[in-house]
């Protein structure tokens, strides 16, 4: 499960990252960062490819298949299990040719086993931006307008996150990123092998304030390490 995440860098740093990793010179005019408490139903910053170049823009977090009766299904489809992508009719077409990455620099999970679950923040040890594997879809509303939505793919947790939760978002490394985004590549077996737990030795975690429990709270206080208080 991945239900909240962060992209807490400024616009200048984000543009530098986008240019370096994806060779995107012209990014959207308003990247809407920093964000410290991104939640389902909100727009998330995503990268897709048309096979020749990358594009970046917002996708609504909550997957709505093209054949859905309405867009309410998106609230139930914020995560997709890596192990069953080929089995789910809702995801199969997107897995074949509508793959994306969602940009983040951290995510939250809540420690179980206590009366009041403790939120924990997970990130890279260098606190850098990383790409989360996702799927996207285009849904046509009754009025003819388009809704572009996405889901975050999860896999078995690594040993760091496994202390808190049994699932984690799939984080792609440099060697798998371009293959994942290539819509002309259709080797599903190979792609499935990319969806694995990230190296825990490159990650860190720490407890944060319960401010993050409320979606309306979106300040830097959400990611403050309370173990240092």
Rounded Cα distance between 59 and 134, Å, is 11
Whether omega before 36 lies within 30 degrees of 0, making that bond cis, reads no
CA angle 24, 27, 29 (to 5 degrees): 170
Catalytic (active site) residue 111 = no
Catalytic (active site) residue 222 = no
Query: Which residues make Cβ contacts (< 8 Å) with residue 144, sequence separation at least 6?
Result: none
Exactly one of 100, 109, 150, 155 is catalytic; which is it? 109
Exactly one of 2, 100, 150, 222 is catalytic; which is it? 2
Residue 159 CB: number of other CB atoms within 10 A?
9
Residue 204 CB: number of other CB atoms within 10 A?
16
Catalytic residue set: 2, 109
């Amino acid at each position: 499960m991945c239900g909240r995440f962060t992209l807490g860098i400024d616009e200048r740093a984000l543009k530098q990252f986008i240019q370096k990793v994806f060779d995107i010179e012209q990014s959207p005019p308003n990247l809407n960062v920093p964000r410290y408490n991104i939640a389902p139903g909100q727009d998330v910053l995503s990268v897709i490819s048309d096979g020749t170049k990358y594009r970046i823009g917002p996708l609504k977090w909550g997957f709505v298949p093209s054949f859905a009766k309405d867009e309410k299904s998106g609230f139930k489809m914020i995560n997709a299990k890596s192990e069953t992508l080929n089995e789910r009719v809702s995801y199969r077409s997107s897995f074949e040719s509508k793959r994306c990455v969602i940009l983040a620099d951290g995510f939250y999970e809540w420690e179980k086993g206590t009366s009041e679950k403790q939120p924990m923040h997970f990130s890279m040890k260098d606190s850098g931006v990383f790409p989360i594997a996702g799927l996207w879809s285009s849904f046509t509303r009754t009025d003819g307008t388009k809704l572009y939505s996405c889901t975050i793919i999860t896999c078995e947790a690594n040993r760091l996150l496994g202390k808190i939760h049994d699932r984690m978002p799939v984080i792609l490394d440099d060697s798998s990123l371009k293959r994942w985004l290539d819509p002309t590549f259709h080797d599903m077996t190979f792609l499935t092998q990319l969806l694995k737990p990230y190296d825990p030795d490159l990650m860190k975690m720490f407890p944060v304030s319960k401010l993050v429990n409320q979606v309306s709270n979106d300040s830097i206080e959400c990611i403050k390490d309370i173990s240092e208080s």
